């Protein structure tokens, strides 16, 4: 029991140290930028905006979902690709498509993929939509922390991927940094799971 007590103290100290580093230093921001890699904003066949968090009950997009679609619309307006593909839940893609139309993206340039729950399913659905038409080179819009896993999935289903992360650094307040570190931890676990299952 004494050994267990010492182990718990060491674990507790590590947790406390991790908390202080995460909340009061830029460590999570550096990790965020590292996970994003370099943006490759070049001409592509389509801009893919992956789903994230869906929409609230009143149809309003979550913060991250909104950031992603706004970045995708910006890339479209810079004429980097002729198609804007919006993925996610049904409510999410509808709200995103409405927003894109409202900001001047023609309906003919918008494609909606609304039957996916996971990034893997999104990759499969989007490949069925685009690859038969020879649209292989994509600008992939995702959060910095999701980019690595999303890129693996999209390359696995046959796309040539150009990264277009939504941001590089992240929040500068303690609460935001803690949330960022939590999301990074979740994402690392997801990446490990995808690797384990052969993706």
- Give the binding site for another protein (CB under 8 A): 5, 7-16, 23-24, 53, 117, 172-174, 177, 179, 182-183, 186, 189-190
Identity of the residue, 68 or 177, whose beta carbon is nearer to another protein in the bound complex = 177
Identity of the residue, 1 or 108, whose beta carbon is nearer to another protein in the bound complex = 1
> Given the structure tokens 């080179």, which residue do they identify?
137
Of 132, 164, 147, whose CA–CA distance to 44 is shortest? 164
Min dist CB 5 to another protein, Å, is 6
Min dist CB 182 to another protein, Å, is 6
Half-sphere exposure of 37 (CA within 13 A, CB side): 16
Identity of the residue, 24 or 34, whose beta carbon is nearer to another protein in the bound complex = 24
Min dist CB 56 to another protein, Å, is 15
Furthest CA-CA distance within the chain: 69
Helices (H), the chain: 2-24, 27-36, 63-77, 90-102, 119-130, 147-156, 174-196
Identity of the residue, 100 or 144, whose beta carbon is nearer to another protein in the bound complex = 144
Compute how many other C-beta atoms are within 10 angstroms of the C-beta atom of residue 190: 16
Q: What angle do CA 173, 183, 192 make, to 5 degrees?
A: 150
Give the β-pairing of 84-87 and 110-113: parallel
Identity of the residue, 82 or 190, whose beta carbon is nearer to another protein in the bound complex = 190
Min dist CB 168 to another protein, Å, is 16
Min dist CB 146 to another protein, Å, is 12
Min dist CB 32 to another protein, Å, is 16
> Given the structure tokens 């103290």, which residue do they identify?
9
Compute how many other C-beta atoms are within 10 angstroms of the C-beta atom of residue 192: 11
Identity of the residue, 74 or 121, whose beta carbon is nearer to another protein in the bound complex = 121
């Amino acid at each position: 029991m004494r050994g267990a007590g010492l182990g718990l103290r060491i674990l507790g100290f590590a947790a406390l140290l991790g908390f202080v580093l995460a909340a009061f230093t830029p460590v999570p921001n550096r990790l965020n930028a590292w996970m994003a890699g370099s943006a490759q904003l070049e001409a592509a066949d389509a801009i893919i905006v992956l789903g994230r968090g869906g929409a609230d009950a009143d149809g309003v997009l979550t913060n991250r979902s909104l950031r992603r679609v706004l970045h995708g619309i910006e890339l479209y307006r810079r004429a980097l690709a002729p198609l804007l593909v919006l993925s996610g839940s049904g409510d999410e893609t509808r709200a995103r498509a409405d927003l894109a139309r409202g900001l001047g993206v023609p309906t003919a340039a918008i494609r909606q993929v609304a039957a996916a729950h996971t990034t893997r399913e999104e990759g499969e659905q989007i490949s069925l939509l685009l690859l038969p038409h020879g649209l292989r080179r994509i600008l992939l819009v995702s959060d910095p922390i999701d980019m690595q896993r999303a890129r693996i999935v999209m390359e696995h289903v046959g796309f040539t991927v150009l990264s277009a992360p939504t941001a590089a650094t992240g929040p500068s307040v303690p609460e935001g940094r803690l949330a960022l570190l939590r999301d990074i931890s979740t994402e690392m676990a997801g990446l490990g799971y995808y690797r384990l299952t052969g993706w």
